[in-house]
Amino acid sequence: MSVLCGLALIVVGILVQVALHKTLRIHDATASGAPIVLIGVGVVIFFIAFFGCCGAWKENYCMVTMFAILLVLVIIVEIAAAIAGYIFRNKLSVVVQDSLTETLSSYKNNTEFREAMDKIQKDLKCCGVNSSADWKSFKPDGNSVPDSCCVNVSKDCGAGAMKNSSKVYQEGCSVAVEALLKKNILWVIVAALVIAFLQIMGIVFACMLMRGIRSGYEVM
């Protein structure tokens, strides 16, 4: 069970980390905190599980005891990651605003940022940070937006159409991106708490095994 818990934490952590940095170029270190902790904890649990399996197979009291102690420490770290994820949810608005603004300002000069912004606008059906007006300096006419803002994307569809709601999405991307990230971070919190509960059950079983091993020693 601990092996599966470890793998589950690694998978969830990686998925959230990819969502945070592929969907949006976030540079705030706290954004990566919770998923990175989960990935690290998942790797540790995976190896601890083998240690516990060896202890159970050999019926080694010391190894099983150490397994239980290590699981307790891991649970504490997981709860800390869940708390960190919850706290980060409260500062998402600022992080998203800053990251999107940086991505938008680097749109013309950086291919990586341009591709990221185009993907966000296409996938989330939005335009700019707060509204399509954020692209007023995109072209000299002050009324054009990238084609990725268009309802029906085609070449030059955003030219002179900034305020045309039938052609261009008017809502900014900050609200949509924030909602997406909150959903991903919520998965981190839920995964950490659910798996922590399963690990508590593992500790209970380990204690039962320790009791059985000790009883066997006493009989001998």
CB 133 within 8 A of CB 162: yes
97: nearest Cα among 68, 69, 129, 65? 129
Query: Which residues, 6 or more positions from 6, have their beta carbon under 8 angstroms from its beta carbon?
Result: 42, 43, 44, 45, 46, 47, 48, 49
188: nearest Cα among 47, 62, 85? 85
Tens of pLDDT along the chain (220 residues) come to 544 555 555 666 666 556 555 555 544 444 555 566 666 766 777 777 776 677 667 667 777 777 778 878 877 877 776 677 677 666 777 878 888 888 888 898 888 888 889 989 998 999 999 999 999 999 999 999 999 999 999 999 999 999 999 999 999 998 888 887 777 777 767 777 777 777 787 777 777 777 777 665 544 4
